[in-house]
């Protein structure tokens, strides 16, 4: 028994001697990912709190790195991030993965700091320690952004501090022999991390963060870092990192740039030009908007350029609010609740009033408002739609800030079209919006921002595409949004993505009549659906198709 306990204790702690640590690592049961991960994690937690020479710590960390990579790969295979907030199991896997990455980054960080304070090692060792620490912190950023989780406090402070340490010792631009692909130097890796933050990762759709990282890895060499502006910035704005802050690089007015040795300006002009050329090339080739080329689609490239170059001031004041609102996600469910609402309006609410009376009499509700909410829920269930209740944090003319209080996963996705209805207002109607960002905050839960598109909606059916053959079975259901003065000058169509394209001539049915329209402009950036402007086409008569004597017939 005592022998077993001693064996467990030996497995739990990494020896402080590099030679004994090598034996400890060799004894890891790599075929058992769970046990391997447990030993590595507990070993790192203990190692990072022990005092040992910086070079010994660096040597042990380097020997441990292949095993850490195996453990992280096994963890990430089990991290399911298809719905948000993460399930309880996935949340625990995420937290363990993040903690393991941070502990391992911490081992290199402690080694680097000890080299500086205790004058141990040399520049080559310092460069290696800083690079590895930054590399694993970059992996933490990729992980957290991919699942819309807010980054830990002090993480960006540590990233900036390590980069500044490299600059002060003149090792930030020296290529490392065993560097990560596409990031040969400390400065390159640091640049990639800031680029990802500048691209507004919480506004990206699921899976896009990883694709964007791959693209940036290919073209980071186009970005330069300097202490001052070069005059090539985007208008009056610059992308700058404040190295004594806990925030990533941001876009700010050049006139607001602090005059400090801890400021670094990133010049993205060449990168933006490359992305613009990428878009033009794909358009010239006729490549569909969502098709990947060099790991980047035209659709994603346009949105990233917007995030990197557009000054995004709040258009409307936000007002705090504490209320509930019903949300329906997924195009089919949105269509079903809109369809039901329009049927109710046509029947002058008679059916709804009957249902309200029956629900109110059959159940114990405190007031008519609670009964109305039950009716809305029942109607949605009859139509196959799922209404989820969200908490309103704030509201503005442009939309809502919402928070998910449920234990289960929500249907929210960035770029998803949604229908909203205020349960607290008896006269409320279904509104159409799009989820623009999501972020999971430990103290609040999953939060999202919904941009309101319209409070007036009409269901439409596309009966036929007139100018080309499509494989999609018709009719296809969609929505028509009316024009709004100062916001939307012309009516718009919302249709399922990837079926229709600009210049298509289609036959529409809405409000018990048919129209022929041409789709003239597709907004590829608004959401994960097709948002078209259109023009109405005059009907061609049979005579015009048969000959060109139309004007003559009228004069005879």
Sign of CA dihedral 219, 148, 438, 252: negative
Distance CA 142, CA 125 (A): 26
pLDDT at 52: 95
What are the angstrom distances between the C-alpha of 507 and each of 42, 154, 465, 474, 538? 65, 57, 7, 11, 12
91: pLDDT confidence band, cut at 50, 70 and 90?
A: very high
Helix (H) or strand (E) holding 10: helix 2-12
pLDDT at 230: 65
Distance CA 463, CA 473 (A): 9
| Residue 337: partners with Cβ closer than 8 Å, 6 or more residues away | 328, 379, 380, 383, 385, 387, 419, 421, 430
Asked whether the predicted pLDDT for residue 499 surpasses 50, the reply is: yes
pLDDT at 32: 95
7: pLDDT confidence band, cut at 50, 70 and 90?
A: very low
- pLDDT per residue as tens digits for the range 146-195: 999 999 999 999 999 999 999 999 999 999 999 999 999 999 999 999 99
Q: What is the mean pLDDT of the chain?
A: 87
93-111: average pLDDT: 98
Query: Which tokens in the block code for residue 8?
Result: 């467990």
Report the Cα 347 to chain-centroid distance in Å.
Answer: 42
- pLDDT per residue as tens digits for the range 283-338: 888 777 667 777 788 899 999 999 999 877 655 678 899 999 999 999 999 999 99
DSSP calls for 48-95: TTS---HHHHHHHHHHHHHHHHHHHHHHHHS---SSBSPPHHHHHHHH
458-475: average pLDDT: 94
539: pLDDT confidence band, cut at 50, 70 and 90?
A: low
Q: Which is higher by pLDDT, 363 or 475?
A: 475
450-472: average pLDDT: 94
DSSP calls for 272-311: HHHHHHHHHHHHHHT--TT--BTTB-HHHHHHHHHHHH--
Report pTM: 0.87
Residue 215: CB atoms within 10 A of its CB come to 23
Helix (H) or strand (E) holding 229: none
Percent of the chain with pLDDT over 70: 85
Maximum alpha-carbon separation in the chain: 115
Asked whether the predicted pLDDT for residue 113 surpasses 90, the reply is: yes
4: pLDDT confidence band, cut at 50, 70 and 90?
A: very low
Asked whether the predicted pLDDT for residue 281 surpasses 80, the reply is: yes
Residue with the two structure tokens 């080299």: 115
pLDDT at 288: 72
22: pLDDT confidence band, cut at 50, 70 and 90?
A: very high
- pLDDT per residue as tens digits for the range 339-356: 888 776 655 445 545 554
Residue with the two structure tokens 């700010």: 252
Distance CA 28, CA 14 (A): 11
CB 455 within 8 A of CB 338: no
Residue with the two structure tokens 């408002």: 369
402-413: string of b/e by CB count within 10 Å (b at 16+)? bebeeeebbbbb
Distance CA 33, CA 176 (A): 30
Nearest to 196 by CA among 183, 178, 185, 177: 183
Would you say the CATH fold of 458-542 matches that of 319-454? yes
| Residue 401: partners with Cβ closer than 8 Å, 6 or more residues away | 318, 392, 393, 394, 395, 447, 448, 449, 450
Report the Cα 165 to chain-centroid distance in Å.
Answer: 31
Q: Which residues make beta-bridge pairs with 15? A: none
Burial (0-12, 13-18, 19+ Cβ within 10 Å), 415: buried
| Residue 289: partners with Cβ closer than 8 Å, 6 or more residues away | 297, 298, 299, 522, 524
458-468: average pLDDT: 95
439-444: average pLDDT: 92
- pLDDT per residue as tens digits for the range 27-59: 999 999 999 999 999 999 999 999 999 999 999
| Residue 429: partners with Cβ closer than 8 Å, 6 or more residues away | 341, 421, 455
**Per-domain residue ranges for the chain?**
10-172, 319-454, 458-542
DSSP calls for 304-364: HHHHHH-----SS--EEEEEEEEEEESHHHHHHHHHHHHHHHHTTTHHHHHHHHHHHHHS-
Asked whether the predicted pLDDT for residue 2 surpasses 70, the reply is: no
Pairing of strands 399-404, 445-454: antiparallel
pLDDT at 12: 78
pLDDT at 170: 97
Q: Which is higher by pLDDT, 191 or 376?
A: 191
pLDDT at 357: 47
Q: Which residues make beta-bridge pairs with 394? A: 320, 401
pLDDT at 305: 96
178: three-class secondary structure by DSSP: coil
Asked whether the predicted pLDDT for residue 238 surpasses 50, the reply is: yes
Distance CA 71, CA 296 (A): 29
Alpha helices, H only, 118-241: 123-146, 155-168, 186-198, 208-219
Lowest mean pLDDT among 145-159, 208-222, 371-385, 525-539: 371-385
Tell me the CATH number for domain 458-542.
Answer: 2.40.10
Asked whether the predicted pLDDT for residue 543 surpasses 50, the reply is: no
What are the angstrom distances between the C-alpha of 140 and each of 64, 155, 301? 18, 9, 24
In terms of CATH architecture, what is 319-454?
A: Beta Barrel (2.40)
Lay out the sheet containing 224-226: strands in order across. Answer: 224-226, 263-267, 237-242, 250-253
């Amino acid at each position: 028994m005592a022998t077993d306990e001693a064996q467990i204790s030996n497995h739990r702690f990494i020896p402080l001697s590099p030679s004994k640590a090598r034996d400890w690592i060799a004894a890891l049961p790599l075929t058992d990912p769970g046990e391997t991960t447990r030993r590595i994690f507990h070993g790192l937690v203990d190692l990072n709190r022990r005092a040992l020479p910086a070079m010994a710590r660096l040597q042990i960390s380097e020997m441990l790195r292949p095993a850490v990579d195996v453990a992280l790969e096994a963890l990430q295979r089990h991290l399911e991030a298809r719905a948000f907030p993460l399930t309880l199991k996935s949340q625990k896997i995420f937290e363990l993965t993040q903690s393991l990455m941070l502990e391992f980054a911490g081992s290199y960080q402690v080694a680097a700091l000890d080299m500086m304070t205790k004058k141990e090692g040399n520049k080559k060792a310092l460069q290696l320690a800083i690079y590895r620490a930054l590399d694993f912190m970059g992996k933490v950023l990729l992980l957290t952004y991919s699942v819309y989780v807010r980054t830990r406090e002090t993480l960006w402070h540590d990233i900036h501090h390590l980069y500044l340490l490299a600059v002060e010792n003149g090792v930030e631009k020296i290529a490392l022999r065993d560097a990560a692909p596409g990031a040969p130097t400390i400065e390159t890796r640091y640049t990639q991390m800031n680029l990802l933050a500048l691209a507004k990762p919480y506004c990206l759709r699921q899976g896009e963060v990883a694709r964007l990282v791959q693209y940036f890895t290919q073209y980071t060499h186009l970005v330069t870092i300097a202490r001052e502006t070069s005059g090539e910035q985007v208008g009056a704005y610059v992308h700058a990192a404040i190295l004594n802050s806990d925030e990533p690089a941001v876009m700010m007015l050049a006139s607001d740039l602090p005059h400090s040795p801890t400021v670094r300006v990133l010049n993205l002009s060449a990168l933006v030009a490359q992305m613009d050329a990428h878009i033009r090339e794909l358009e010239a080739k006729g490549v569909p908007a969502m098709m990947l080329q060099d790991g980047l689609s035209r659709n994603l490239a346009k949105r990233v350029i917007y995030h990197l170059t557009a000054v995004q001031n709040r258009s409307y004041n936000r007002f705090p609010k504490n209320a509930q609102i019903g949300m329906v996600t997924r195009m089919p469910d949105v269509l079903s609740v809109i369809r039901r609402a329009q049927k109710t309006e046509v029947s002058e609410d008679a059916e709804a009033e009957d249902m309200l009376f029956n629900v109110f009499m059959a159940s114990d509700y405190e007031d008519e408002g609670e009964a109305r909410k039950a009716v809305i829920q029942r109607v949605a269930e009859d139509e196959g739609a799922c209404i989820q209740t969200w908490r309103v944090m704030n509201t503005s003319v442009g939309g809502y800030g919402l928070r998910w209080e449920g234990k289960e996963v929500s249907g929210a996705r960035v770029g998803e079209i949604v229908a909203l209805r205020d349960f607290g207002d008896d006269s409320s109607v279904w509104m159409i919006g799009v989820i623009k960002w999501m972020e999971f905050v430990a103290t609040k839960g999953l939060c999202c921002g919904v941009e309101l598109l319209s409070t007036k909606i009409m269901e439409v059916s596309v009966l036929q595409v007139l100018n080309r053959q499509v494989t999609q079975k018709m009719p296809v259901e969609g929505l028509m949004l009316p024009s709004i003065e100062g916001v939307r000058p012309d009516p718009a169509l919302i249709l399922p993505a990837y079926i229709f394209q600009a210049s298509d001539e289609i036959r529409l049915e809405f409000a018990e009549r048919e129209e022929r329209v041409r789709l003239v402009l597709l907004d590829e950036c608004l959401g994960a659906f097709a948002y078209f402007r259109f023009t109405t086409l005059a009907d061609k008569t049979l005579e015009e198709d048969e000959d060109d004597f139309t004007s003559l017939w009228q004069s005879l």
